[in-house]
C-alpha cells in the first residue's frame, strides 16, 4: 500500500483512496476508542465520527505519522463522547442476575475461537484491565492505551494527544503505577506467569 | 535502600520503552543493581505494561468506510441527465400551452358566434333590413355555429351600417352566457398548466434524487 499516494488522492477528494486507509486503520481506531470509552456501541460511533472528521479535515494533515494523526481524531471523538456521557449519565443495559447485580463476565464478551476455560480467563482479564483503565483520569487513559495497548512510540503518542514528550513520559509512568496497583486487586485473574513474577518480586 | 521519587519512576518507565540516552540508561542500571526498591518498582511497571499488551483485540462490529453521503460528497450526475429532464419539463410545458391555446381559441370562437348571429335576429324583429345572405336558419343558435368563416363573412353583410346599433339589445344576455364557460375554461387551463408544470418539476427533482440514491447504493456495496 502506497500510503502517501493514498493520502494525497484522498486530499483531492478521492473517497475510494480514503476508504482504503480506513480499512487499514479501522481496527486500531476502534480498539483505541473501545479501551478509552469501555463501550462497544459508543466506540463504534466514535470511530465512525473520527473517520468522517478525518476525511473533512484531511487537508490539515501536514505529513508525519498518519496513524498518530488519525488516532488524535479518534481520541478527540472519545473525549467528546466522555464529556457528553458526563452531562447525560445513563444506566448501561448489561446482563444482570435476578438480584439485580451485573454479571461480570457476560457471554457476549467471549472469543468464539478459544476454549471455554480460555474464554473465561480472557474475558475476566479483559474486564479487569478495562475496569482499571476506567479508574484512570481520561488524559492518562488515552496515553496508556496508545502506548501500551496500541504500541505507539512516544513521538506518535505526543502527536496523537498533542502534548510534549515530557508530559507523555510522566503520564505514562503514573498511569502504569496506578494500573499496577489496581491490577493487584485482580491478582487471581492475572495469567500464571505474571503471578509468579509478582510473588518473586514480593 | 533509598526512597523512590517520582522522577525515578519516570526514568524506570522510560527505560522500559528505550527512551533513555545511553548515559542515563547506564546510571539507572547501576542504581537498580544497588537498590532492591528500584528493581521492584521496575518489575511492577514491567508487569503492568506486559498485562496491558495482552489486552485482547476486539473484532470490528462493522466496516467504517465512508459513503459519499457521510463524506458530504454529492455524486456527479452525467451531463445529459439534467438536459434530458429539463427537456421533458419544457416539452410538457409547451404541450400544455399549445393544447390550452388551441382549445381556448375554439371555445372563444364558439362562444362569439351566437353574438354575431344575434344581429340578423334583431333586424328581423324590427321588421327592416335585407334578407340573410346565407341559408342558415337564424332562430337556431346551435346551427349557426358550423364554421367560423361563414359567420365572420355573413355577419357584416347581414347588418347594414345604419341598423347595426339595433342589434345590442338582443346581445347582452347572450354575451354573458357565452363568456362564462370561456372564463371557467381559461381558469381551469391555467390551473392545469401550473399543476402539470409543478408535476414536471417534481418529476425532474425525483429523477435526480433517484439517480443519486442509486449511485450511493452502488458505492455502499
Chain A residues near residue B60 by CB distance under 8 angstroms: 26-27, 30
Residues B205 and B111 in one domain: yes
Predicted confidence (pLDDT) per residue in A13-62, tens digit:
899 999 999 999 999 999 999 999 999 999 999 999 999 999 999 999 98
Predicted confidence (pLDDT) per residue in A126-159, tens digit:
888 999 999 999 989 999 999 999 999 999 999 9
Residues B39 and B137 in one domain: no
Residues B120 and B208 in one domain: yes
Q: How far apart are the first and last CA of chain B?
A: 66
Is B136 among the domain residues?
yes
Residues B96 and B204 in one domain: yes
Is B36 among the domain residues?
yes
The beta-carbon neighbor of B9 closest among A35, A125, A173 is A173
Residue A102: strand pairing partners: A96
Chain A residues near residue B68 by CB distance under 8 angstroms: 15
Q: What is the rounded distance in angstroms from the CA atom of residue A202 to the CA atom of residue A14? A: 57
- Asked if A154 lies within 8 A of B17 by C-beta distance, the reply is yes
The beta-carbon neighbor of B73 closest among A13, A31, A111 is A13
Residues B49 and B96 in one domain: no
Residues B206 and B99 in one domain: yes
Residue A100 or B10, more confident: B10
A38-47, A92-101, B94-103: which is most confident: A38-47
Chain B residue with CA closest to A132: the answer is B52
- Asked if B51 lies within 8 A of A126 by C-beta distance, the reply is no
Chain A residue with CA closest to B40: the answer is A201
Please say whether the beta carbons of B115 and B176 come within 8 A: no
What are the DSSP calls for A125-145, one per residue?
A: HHHHHHHHHHTS-HHHHHHHI
The label of the residue with cell 438536459 reads: B83
Residues B38 and B96 in one domain: no
**B57 interfaces chain A, CB cutoff of 8 Å:** yes
Q: What is the rounded distance in angstroms from the CA atom of residue B58 to the CA atom of residue B145? A: 89
Is B74 among the domain residues?
no
**A110-114, A178-182, B206-210 — which is least confidently predicted?**
A110-114
Say which residues have a Cβ less than 8 Å from residue B84's Cβ, sequence separation at least 6: none
Chain B residue with CA closest to A21: the answer is B65
How many structural domains comprise chain B? 2
Residues B94 and B43 in one domain: no
What's residue B164's pLDDT?
Answer: 45
Q: What is the mean pLDDT of residues B62-76?
A: 84
- Cell digits of residue A21: 486507509
ipTM of the complex: 0.77
Residues B155 and B100 in one domain: yes
**A169 interfaces chain B, CB cutoff of 8 Å:** yes
Cα A129 to its chain centre, rounded Å, is 11
3-class state of residue A100 by DSSP:
coil
What's residue A84's pLDDT?
Answer: 87
**pLDDT class for B129, splitting at 50, 70, 90?**
very low
Residues B114 and B200 in one domain: yes
- Identify the burial level of B6 via C-beta atoms within 10 angstroms of its C-beta, where 0-12 means exposed, 13-18 middle and 19 or more buried: exposed
- Asked if A151 lies within 8 A of B17 by C-beta distance, the reply is no
Is B196 among the domain residues?
yes
Is B216 among the domain residues?
yes
**Mind listing the domains of chain A with CATH numbers?**
1-89 (1.10.1740.10), 115-202 (1.10.10.10)
- Asked if B54 lies within 8 A of A191 by C-beta distance, the reply is yes
Chain B residues near residue A122 by CB distance under 8 angstroms: 56
Is B14 among the domain residues?
yes
Question: pTM for the full model?
Answer: 0.61
Please say whether the beta carbons of B138 and B144 come within 8 A: yes
Residues B111 and B195 in one domain: yes
**pLDDT class for B70, splitting at 50, 70, 90?**
confident
Is B184 among the domain residues?
yes
Is B140 among the domain residues?
yes
Residue B57: strand pairing partners: none
- Asked if A190 lies within 8 A of B51 by C-beta distance, the reply is yes
Question: Which of B84, B98, B65, B104 shows the shortest CA–CA distance to B185?
Answer: B104
What's residue B66's pLDDT?
Answer: 93
Note down the domain range covering B46. Answer: 6-53
Residues B49 and B106 in one domain: no
Percent of chain B at pLDDT above 90?
18
Amino acid at each position: 500500500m502506497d500510503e502517501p499516494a493514498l493520502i494525497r488522492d484522498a486530499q483531492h477528494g478521492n473517497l475510494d483512496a480514503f476508504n482504503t486507509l480506513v480499512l487499514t486503520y479501522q481496527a486500531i481506531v476502534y480498539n483505541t476508542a473501545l479501551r478509552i470509552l469501555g463501550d462497544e456501541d459508543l466506540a463504534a460511533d466514535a470511530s465512525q465520527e473520527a473517520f468522517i472528521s478525518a476525511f473533512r479535515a484531511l487537508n490539515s494533515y501536514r505529513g508525519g505519522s498518519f496513524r498518530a494523526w488519525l488516532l488524535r481524531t479518534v481520541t478527540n471523538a472519545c473525549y467528546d463522547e466522555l464529556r457528553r456521557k458526563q452531562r447525560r449519565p445513563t444506566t448501561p443495559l448489561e446482563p444482570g442476575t435476578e438480584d439485580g447485580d451485573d454479571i461480570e463476565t457476560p457471554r457476549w464478551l467471549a472469543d468464539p475461537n478459544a476454549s471455554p476455560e480460555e474464554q473465561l480467563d480472557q474475558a475476566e482479564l479483559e474486564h479487569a484491565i478495562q475496569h482499571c483503565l476506567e479508574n484512570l483520569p481520561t488524559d492518562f487513559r488515552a496515553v496508556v492505551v496508545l502506548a501500551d495497548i496500541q504500541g505507539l512510540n512516544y513521538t506518535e503518542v505526543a502527536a496523537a494527544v498533542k502534548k510534549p514528550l515530557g508530559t507523555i513520559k510522566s503520564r505514562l509512568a503514573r498511569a502504569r503505577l496506578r494500573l499496577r496497583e489496581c491490577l493487584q486487586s485482580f491478582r487471581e485473574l492475572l495469567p500464571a506467569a505474571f503471578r509468579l513474577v509478582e510473588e518473586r518480586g514480593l | 535502600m533509598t526512597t523512590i521519587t517520582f522522577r525515578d519512576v519516570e526514568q524506570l518507565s522510560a527505560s522500559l520503552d528505550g527512551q533513555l540516552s545511553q548515559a542515563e540508561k547506564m546510571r539507572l542500571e547501576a542504581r537498580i543493581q544497588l537498590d532492591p526498591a528500584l528493581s521492584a518498582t521496575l518489575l511492577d511497571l514491567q508487569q503492568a505494561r506486559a498485562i496491558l499488551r495482552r489486552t485482547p483485540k476486539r473484532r470490528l462490529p462493522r466496516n467504517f468506510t465512508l459513503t459519499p453521503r457521510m463524506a458530504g460528497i454529492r455524486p456527479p450526475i452525467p451531463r445529459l441527465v439534467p438536459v434530458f429532464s429539463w427537456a421533458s419539463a419544457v416539452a410538457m410545458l409547451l404541450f400544455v400551452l399549445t393544447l390550452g391555446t388551441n382549445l381556448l381559441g375554439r371555445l372563444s370562437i364558439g362562444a362569439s358566434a351566437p353574438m354575431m348571429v344575434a344581429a340578423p335576429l334583431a333586424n328581423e324583429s324590427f321588421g327592416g333590413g335585407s334578407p340573410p345572405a346565407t341559408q342558415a336558419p337564424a332562430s337556431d343558435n346551435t346551427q349557426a355555429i358550423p364554421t367560423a368563416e361563414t359567420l365572420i363573412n355573413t355577419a357584416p353583410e347581414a347588418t347594414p351600417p345604419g341598423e347595426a346599433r339595433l342589434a345590442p339589445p338582443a346581445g347582452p344576455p347572450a354575451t354573458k352566457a357565452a363568456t362564462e364557460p370561456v372564463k371557467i375554461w381559461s381558469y381551469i387551463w391555467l390551473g392545469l398548466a401550473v399543476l402539470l408544470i409543478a408535476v414536471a418539476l417534481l418529476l425532474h427533482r425525483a429523477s435526480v434524487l433517484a439517480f443519486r440514491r442509486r449511485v450511493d447504493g452502488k458505492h455502499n456495496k
